[in-house]
């Protein structure tokens, strides 16, 4: 997988390491989602993050990925539309559309 700026891979973590970077993002997602949210009750793993925003890419067990803009509220959101989430059928589908769009916007914003 080629990661385009501003996205970067998050190293896979051991499941027995509660201090791992990805675990914090996964825990925050679990805190924020409420019944009615598309990710409520689903097991996800952080695989990448956007280093200039609070956007994260989570992979689900069925191969789909979710680009999520975490609010870092540290509590459940009142509205199930938050945190804002876009689902993709696969990592490749996200790379071809979501990552490409973000990269092009990032280049334009940074004068490149």
> In this predicted model, what pLDDT tens digit does every residue of 69-112 receive, in sequence order?
999 999 999 999 999 999 999 999 999 999 999 999 999 998 77
Q: Can you tell me which residue has the tokens 């993002």?
A: 25
Query: Structural domain of residue 86, as residue ranges?
Result: 7-109
Query: Number of folded domains in the chain?
Result: 1
84 within domain boundaries: yes
1 within domain boundaries: no
Backbone angles phi, psi at 60, to 5 degrees: -100, 165
2 within domain boundaries: no
Dump pLDDT digits (tens) for 33-65: 999 999 999 999 999 999 999 999 999 999 999
What stretch of H or E contains 107?
Answer: helix 100-109
Query: Which pLDDT belongs to residue 112?
Result: 72
The residues, any chain, with a CB within 8 Å of residue 40's CB and separated by 6 or more, are 33, 34, 80
């Amino acid at each position: 997988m080629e990661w385009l700026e501003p996205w970067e891979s998050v190293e896979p973590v051991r499941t027995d390491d509660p201090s791992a970077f990805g675990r914090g993002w996964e825990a925050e997602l679990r805190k924020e989602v409420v019944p009615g949210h598309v990710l409520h009750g689903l097991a996800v793993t952080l695989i990448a993050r956007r280093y200039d925003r609070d956007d994260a890419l989570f992979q689900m067990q069925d191969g789909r990925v979710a680009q999520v803009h975490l609010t870092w509220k540290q509590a459940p959101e009142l509205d199930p539309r938050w945190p804002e989430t876009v689902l993709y059928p696969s990592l490749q589908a996200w790379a071809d559309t979501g990552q490409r769009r973000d990269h092009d916007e990032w280049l334009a914003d940074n004068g490149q």
